[in-house]
Amino acid sequence: MHHRRRVVQLMFEPEGYVNYWTEFLTSVTSALAAFSLDFDDLGLARRVWNSTTPARQEGRGAFSLRNYTLTEYFDAARGLVVRTPRPLVDWPRSDAIDINESTAGVCNDACVQMNAHAVTVQQQASILAGRMGMPQEAAAYAARAAAIRAAAHAAFYEEDSDKCNPPGAGPCYRDDGAPRKFEAPLSEGPSGAGQWQRGLRHPGSKNGTATTTVQATAMATDARLGGSAEMALRLVPFLRARNLRRGAAHGLELSGWQSFFMLRGVYSAAGETGEGLFPLGLAADAAAFGWEALTGTGVNSWLGGMIGVQNATMTTESWIVSHAPLPGQGGSTMSHPWTAAPAAVLPRWLLGIRPLEPGWRTLAVRPLPPAGLEGASIEVPTPRGVVSLAFRQRVETGTGTGNRMAATARSWVWEANVTVPGNTFADVCAPLYNAGDEAATNCSVSGPPMVARGALVCLRENMLGGSLAIRVACTFSG
C-alpha cells in the first residue's frame, strides 16, 4: 500500500510527469482511482484532487485534474473530446501492428480512442468525487461521461458490418469519424511536436467499406460506447476478424499495450451481471476470443513474441525488438510495462477476482473461462487477506435416473471451491454460458441457491467469509 501510494503521488508531482500523450494524462486519474478502490484510502485523493502539476517539458504550462480527465478538451457543442495535446492511438508504430492506414498511430481533432479514454476517466472521477462528499462534481463528471459516450457512438459507430473492414464480420467503430475537419498541426510545443497532430481523412475503400482499424473498436468495447455489455459483446466478431486478418502466425494487430483495453472490455462485458440477461452465445464467444488472444503463439503475442522470440523475463515495449517504431519515432526497450496486460487480465478478468467495493469489502469471484479450459486455480492477496479459487468444468454423458437423464443426454458440470477472508462478502458466479442455451434452462445446484444474471449463474446472496463448494450441472440432449 505504501509503495502504491507513493507511485500515484509521484504522478501528481513536477518530476513525475513524463509526457503529454493522451494516455499518460488519463493514467493519472486511473491510477488514483485504482489505489483508492483497492485500499479504501481517500487521503491521497483529497490531497491531490485540486493540485496543479507544473509542466517541466515543452512549455505547455501546468497540468491538473482538468487535463488528467480530459475535461480541458471537452467541446460541449459536439459532446466530444477534441484536440488533446498528443493523441496517441497505438504504440510502437510499426508495420507489425494495424497501421496500414495513413493516420494509424495518431489522431487529429477527435477520434474514438481519445473519447473512449475520456469516458473511462470521467466515470472514475465521478466515483472519486462522490466518495469524497462532492455531489455536484460527481454529477458533472457523470453527465460529461454520458455525453461523450453518446456523441462518440453517434459519430463513429457503424452498424452495417459490410461497411467495416473486413466486411461482414460484425459492427465496428471507424477510427476516422464522420464528418471531421483536419486542421494544421498545433504550433505550441517544441519543434517537431506538431507531427503528432497531422492526419488525413480516411478515404473509403474500393468496395465501399470503411478503412477501420482494430484500435478504435477495441477502445469502444472497453468504454462501452454502445451503452451496454451486450452492445460491447456484439463487437467481438469484428475484433477477432480484424486482429487475425494476417493469420495466426502473425498474431494480434494490436500492440501489447492496446490489447489490455480490448481484453478488459471483452471480459468485463462477458461478466456483466447488472444489466439483465443477454444471449449466452455472445459471452461464450467473448470468453473464447479472450483466451485465444492470451494464449496465441504468433509473433505478435505474449507467448509467441515476447517470451518465445525474445525469451524475455520482463515485459517489453513491443512484441519483439525488431518491431521497433518507424524511423525517427523512438526506440523499443526490454523493460517496459507496455505488454504487461496479463498481469491484470488473468487474475481480475479471466479468473474474475477483483474488488467491487473499496478495500475489497465486497469482491467478485466471476471466472470467465472458455469451454475448453478444463480447470484452473489461483490465490489473490488482498488488503483483507487471501482470496482463493479452484474450479473444474467438464461435459458428462450418462444414463443415470436421478435426474431422469436419457441415454443420449449430456451435462455441463461446474465444480468450484472458493475461500474469502472473514468479514468479507463475495459475489460468486459460474460461467453459465458454457452450458449453452438449451442446458441453461435445466440446471441443478449443489450448495447455496443461485440465480442467472447476465450470462452467468451467481449466488442469490453474497457469501460472507470462509470457504464454499459449489456444483452446477446443466443437462441438454443430443
Model confidence over 346-385: pLDDT tens digits?
999 999 999 999 999 999 999 999 999 999 999 999 999 9
Percent of the chain with pLDDT strictly greater than 90: 67
Tell me the per-residue pLDDT of 82-122, one tens digit each, with 9 for 90 and over. 988 877 788 877 778 886 444 445 676 888 999 999 999 99
Is pLDDT of 410 > 70? Answer: yes
CATH superfamily of 357-476: Maltose phosphorylase, domain 3 (2.60.420.10)
What mean pLDDT do residues 68-87 have?
A: 91
Is pLDDT of 407 > 70? Answer: no
In sequence order, what are the residues at sequence separation of 6 or more whose Cβ sits closer than 8 angstroms to the Cβ of residue 442?
Answer: 474, 475, 476
Is pLDDT of 472 > 50? Answer: yes
pTM: 0.90
CB-CB neighbours of 179 under 10 Å: 7
**Number of residues in the chain:** 478
Domain ranges of the chain: 2-247, 357-476
The pLDDT of residue 325 is 66
Do 412 and 262 form a contact (C-beta atoms < 8 A)? no
Do 186 and 140 form a contact (C-beta atoms < 8 A)? no
Is pLDDT of 452 > 60? Answer: yes
The pLDDT of residue 266 is 98
Is pLDDT of 462 > 90? Answer: yes
Quick one: which of 219, 40, 91, 223 has its CA closest to 145? 223
Is pLDDT of 196 > 60? Answer: no
**Euclidean distance between CA atoms 118 and 284, whole angstroms:** 29
**Euclidean distance between CA atoms 455 and 436, whole angstroms:** 10
